[in-house]
Amino acid sequence: MIKNLLITSIVGGLIGLDRTAIFQTMISQPIVAAPVMGLLLGNFAYGIAVGIVLQLIWLPSLQIGAAIVYNSTLASVLVTASTIEVSNSLSQPDGSFTSIAAFSIFLGLPLLIFEQKLDILVRKANAFWVKEAEKLITDGKFSLIGITNLSGCIFFFIKNFIFLLVSTIVITTVISKSYFFLPVNFNEGFKLFFVLMPLLGIAVVLESVLAKRNYIYFFFGILTTIILKLILENR
């Protein structure tokens, strides 16, 4: 388990850089990051399920400008890895996946508050590299400026790696030790929680779709659905 969590933390830390530090190719979005981790850990289906749920939840939280929202990328990696590792270690049937995934989210969300504080600290620490880059420009050492950029990215990676490694170990340990001691109704509640969470995201989507300027797209979507339904039925 530790080996898998170590690999997960390294890969997840790299994917986390895509969020703001480098690239920004959208691989850091939950709908992509979670399936990638699921594929890495041997359960792509679990990754897809977690990715869909978390993507819908995080739709209104946009990382724009200097805004620092809860890290959806690390949440995706954390929940996916914890869910798969706990499911494998407990040899649970697929029916227990939803309760374990919801339990992972329940434990992971408070940790994201702490991660947000770490993110702020890293950004403040990276101000040092900005000053170093300015000195290099003043001294005419332009070829060394890339090193300051890379150093800032390394700071972000170290933060991501340490957070993921510690958090996944804590969550997998807590769930593994407590799962069988929880009342049946408790686990059933987690299952219902995981099933209902996407509805929250769907409600957010509908709220934006039903805005006056988006009515045309809403009705176009309904019309397209009806036409496709008729075409498929008449084949």
Rounded to 10 deg, the angle between the 72-90 and 30-40 helix axes is 30
Residue pair 56/15 in contact by the 8 Å Cβ criterion? no
Structural domain including 97 reads 2-196
Q: Residue 96: inside a domain, yes or no? A: yes
pLDDT at 231: 72
Question: 28 exposed, middle or buried (CB, 10 Å; 0-12, 13-18, 19+)?
Answer: buried
Is residue 213 situated within a structural domain? no
d(CA 106, CA 89): 19
Let me know if residue 207 belongs to a domain.
no
Is residue 231 in some structural domain? no
Going residue by residue through the chain, which has 235 residues, state the pLDDT in tens, using 9 for 90 and above: 788 888 899 999 899 888 876 777 788 888 999 999 999 998 898 999 899 888 888 876 666 666 677 888 999 999 999 999 998 887 655 568 888 998 999 899 889 988 888 888 888 887 787 777 778 787 777 777 777 777 778 888 999 999 999 999 999 999 988 888 888 788 888 888 888 877 776 776 666 666 656 667 666 777 777 777 677 666 5
Structure confidence at residue 65 (pLDDT): 61
Assess contact for 58 and 197: CB atoms under 8 A: no
* Domain annotation covers residue 98: yes
Those residues with Cβ within 8 angstroms of residue 33's Cβ, 6 or more apart along the chain or in another chain: 12, 15, 27, 51, 73, 76, 77, 80
* Residue 205 lies inside a defined structural domain of this protein: no
Is residue 203, in this structure, part of any structural domain at all?
no
The number of domains in the chain is 1
208 occurs within a structural domain: no
Residue 213 has a pLDDT of: 62
Closest by CA position to 54, among listed 102, 120, 15:
102
